[in-house]
Amino acid sequence: MCGIGGIMTIDGTPPESGVLDRLSGLLSHRGPDGKGKHLSGDVGMVQTRLAIIDLETGDQPIYGGGSRRSPKAALVANGEIYNYIELKCGLEKTSFSTGSDCELPLHLYLSHGHGFAKYLRGMYAIAIHDIKAKQLILSRDPFGIKPLYYCETSAGFVFASEAQAIIRAGLVTAKLNPTQRDELMQLQFTTGEQTVFQGIFRMRPGETLVVQGGKIVSRSYQKALPDGKRKNIDESEALNNLDVVLMDSIAAHQRSDVPYGMFFSGGIDSSVLLGMMSRLNEHPVKALTAGFSGTITHDERLHARSVADAVGAVHIGVEFSEEDFYSMLPKIAAAVDDPTADYAILPTFKLAACARAEGLKVVLSGEGGDELFGGYGRYRHAMRPWPFSKSMRRKGIFHGLDVLRENSTNWRAGFAISEKAALAPERNTLQVAQAIDCTDWLSADLLTKLDRCLMAHGVEGRVPFLDPVVARAAYLLPDRLKIKHGKGKWLLRTWLKSNLPVANSLEAKRGFTVPVGEWIAGRSEILGQLIAAQPGIREICRPGKVEALFSSIGKRQGKAQWSLLFYALWHQAHIVGQSSQGDVFDALSS
Say if CB 325 and CB 517 are below 8 A apart. no
Torsion sign across C-alpha atoms 170, 171, 175, 180: negative
Residues 149 and 29 placed together within one structural domain of the fold: yes
Asked if residue 286 lies in contact with residue 274, where contact means CB atoms within 8 angstroms, the answer is: no
Residues 535 and 478 in one domain: no
Contact 448, 188 (CB under 8 A): no
Residue 199 lies in a domain: yes
Distance CA 32, CA 147 (A): 18
Are 210 and 270 members of one domain? no
Predicted pLDDT of residue 195: 97
Task: Tell me if residue 515 falls in helix, strand or coil.
Answer: coil
3-state secondary structure of 455: helix
Residue 38 is which amino acid? H
Same domain, 251 and 178: no
Is residue 405 included in any domain, yes or no?
no
d(CA 251, CA 137): 30
Question: Do 355 and 202 meet the contact criterion of CB atoms below 8 Å apart?
Answer: no
CA gap 99, 59 in Å, rounded: 10
Residue 557 lies in a domain: yes
One domain for residues 211 and 247: no
* Within a domain: 508: no
Nearest residue to 31 (alpha-carbon basis) of 363, 336, 451, 458: 458
Q: Tell me: do 203 and 335 sit in the same domain.
A: no
Find the CATH number of the domain harbouring 127: 3.60.20.10
Spatial distance between the Cα atoms of 140 and 425, rounded to a whole number of angstroms:
27
Of all residues in the chain, what percent are helix, strand and coil, respectively (each to 5)? 45, 15, 40
Q: How many residues appear in the chain?
A: 590
CA 36 distance to own-chain centroid: 25
Q: 544 with 572, same domain?
A: yes
DSSP-assigned beta bridge partners for residue 196? none
Whether residues 542 and 497 share a domain: the answer is: no
Kindly state whether residue 475 falls inside one of the protein's structural domains. Answer: yes
Residue 276: inside a domain, yes or no?
Answer: yes
Spatial distance between the Cα atoms of 502 and 305, rounded to a whole number of angstroms? 11
CA distance 118 to 356: 33
Residue type (1 letter), 519: W
Pair (251, 273) in one structural domain: yes
Per the structure, the complete domain to which residue 542 belongs is given by: 516-589
Q: Which residues face 45 on adjacent strands?
A: 6, 38
**Tens of each residue's pLDDT in the chain, 590 residues:** 689 999 999 999 999 999 999 999 999 999 999 999 999 999 999 999 998 987 887 899 999 987 778 899 999 999 999 999 999 998 877 888 888 999 999 999 999 999 999 999 999 999 999 999 999 999 999 999 999 999 999 889 999 999 999 999 999 999 999 999 999 999 999 999 999 999 999 999 999 999 999 999 999 999 999 998 888 999 999 999 999 999 999 999 999 999 999 999 999 999 999 999 999 999 999 999 999 998 888 899 999 999 999 999 999 999 999 999 999 999 999 999 999 999 999 999 999 999 999 999 999 999 999 999 999 999 988 887 665 556 666 789 999 999 999 887 888 888 888 888 898 989 999 999 999 999 999 999 999 999 999 999 999 999 999 999 999 999 999 999 999 999 999 999 999 999 999 999 988 766 668 999 999 999 999 999 999 999 999 999 999 999 999 999 999 999 999 999 999 999 999 999 988 889 999 999 98
- Domain assignment present for residue 346? The answer is yes
What total number of domains does the chain contain?
3
- Would you say residue 411 lies in a domain? no
Q: Considering the entire predicted model, what is its pTM?
A: 0.96
